Amino acid sequence: MQMYDIIDFHTHTFPDAIAERTIHALEGRSRTKAFSDGTVSGLSQSIGEAGISLAVVLPVVTNPVKTEKINRAAALVNEETQRTHVFSFGGMHPDTPNYKEELKRIKELGLKGVKLHPAYQQVAFNDIRYQRIVGEAEALGLITLVHGGIDIGIAGEWASPRQTRLLYEAVRPQKLVVAHMGGWQLWQEVEDYLLETEVYFDTAFSLGEIAYQDDFPKESRIKQLSTERFCKLVKEMGAERVLFGTDSPWTEHQEQVEIIKRAPLSDEEKALILGSNAKKLLQL
């Protein structure tokens, strides 16, 4: 098997002081199990054990008044990237005050991109506020990564492939990454609405088995993409638009790497997914 320079484009961490209780709360909401402690050091250890060269952290801003503080903290994470191999994006909320100025500050801080999460922010992704943020990010050369599809712990459709297509038609972004292969649990809609766009997709929390808590009823458990369906999507999208992501701490790094390596794709396609596409998008 060819060796790959691997980049995990979709991970999450929390400040050390609140990581334990945040993980506990999120495990309770989703009825799943975490695979690391949710800290930068825990993520750094996990990617090191799996042979991953860089992990991109995606902060989720749930309170717009905390946007600036979260982005300052992200910049501090990046001061240690050479040691930890962890690199953070910034975060934005649709109601962030002075969004243009904050996006410029994100650019000046060297954060390279922003994360949006319509389900946690309770605003549909095609809303004009997101259109303005994505448009301004594009003008600044920033990457935008948005949660795609249903969220395992939050009811409702806030970022369906149809909603993403509406935003795409309005803004025509060149650096938009839609997580979870374009729409978690809405993959038929991904085929219907997003294949003919120029958006990127990440593989986060789309492959393998969901690590449900032992007492979660088996009849209620949701299945992820099969290897066959995943490969079909990759072929239809083009491997040059797919980025490896784990949604760590919610999947195990080594397992996710092995799923891609074992998939019936060419070595060139695997290399693109596991690292080459991310290197190009991040301009490494």
Domain with 277 in it: 6-282
Based on the structure, what is the number of domains in the chain?
1
Model confidence pLDDT, tens digit, residues 86-104: 999 999 999 998 999 999 9
User: In sequence order, what are the residues at sequence separation of 6 or more whose Cβ sits closer than 8 angstroms to the Cβ of residue 145?
Assistant: 9, 10, 58, 89, 113, 114, 115, 116, 176, 177, 178, 179, 202
Question: What is residue 2's predicted lDDT score, i.e. its pLDDT?
Answer: 43
Question: What is residue 4's predicted lDDT score, i.e. its pLDDT?
Answer: 53
Domain assignment present for 121? yes
Q: What percent of the chain has pLDDT over 70?
A: 99
For the chain, the average pLDDT equals 96
User: In sequence order, what are the residues at sequence separation of 6 or more whose Cβ sits closer than 8 angstroms to the Cβ of residue 249?
Assistant: 11, 12, 23, 34, 35, 36, 37, 38, 42, 43, 46
pLDDT band at 160 (very low <50, low <70, confident <90, very high): very high
Domain assignment present for 1? no
Q: Is the pLDDT of residue 224 over 80?
A: yes
Distance in angstroms (rounded) separating the CA atoms of residues 276 and 284: 10
Give mean pLDDT, residues 196-204: 97
Exposed, middle or buried: residue 117 (CB in 10 Å: 0-12, 13-18, 19+)?
buried
Give mean pLDDT, residues 218-234: 96
Give mean pLDDT, residues 211-239: 96
- Edge to edge, the sheet with strand 86-88 lists 6-11, 52-57, 86-88
Q: Check which CATH number belongs to the domain holding 128 and give it.
A: 3.20.20.140
Model confidence pLDDT, tens digit, residues 174-193: 999 999 999 999 999 999 99
Domain assignment present for 174? yes
Give mean pLDDT, residues 238-242: 98
pLDDT band at 3 (very low <50, low <70, confident <90, very high): very low
Q: Do the Cβ atoms of 284 and 253 come closer than 8 Å?
A: no
Distance in angstroms (rounded) separating the CA atoms of residues 186 and 178: 12
Q: Is the pLDDT of residue 1 over 50?
A: no
Give mean pLDDT, residues 225-244: 97
Give mean pLDDT, residues 207-220: 96
Q: Is the pLDDT of residue 7 over 80?
A: yes
Neighbours of 185 (CB within 10 A): 17
Distance in angstroms (rounded) separating the CA atoms of residues 111 and 207: 28
Give mean pLDDT, residues 203-220: 96
Q: Enter the tokens of residue 236.
A: 């239809």
Domain assignment present for 91? yes
Distance in angstroms (rounded) separating the CA atoms of residues 68 and 224: 35
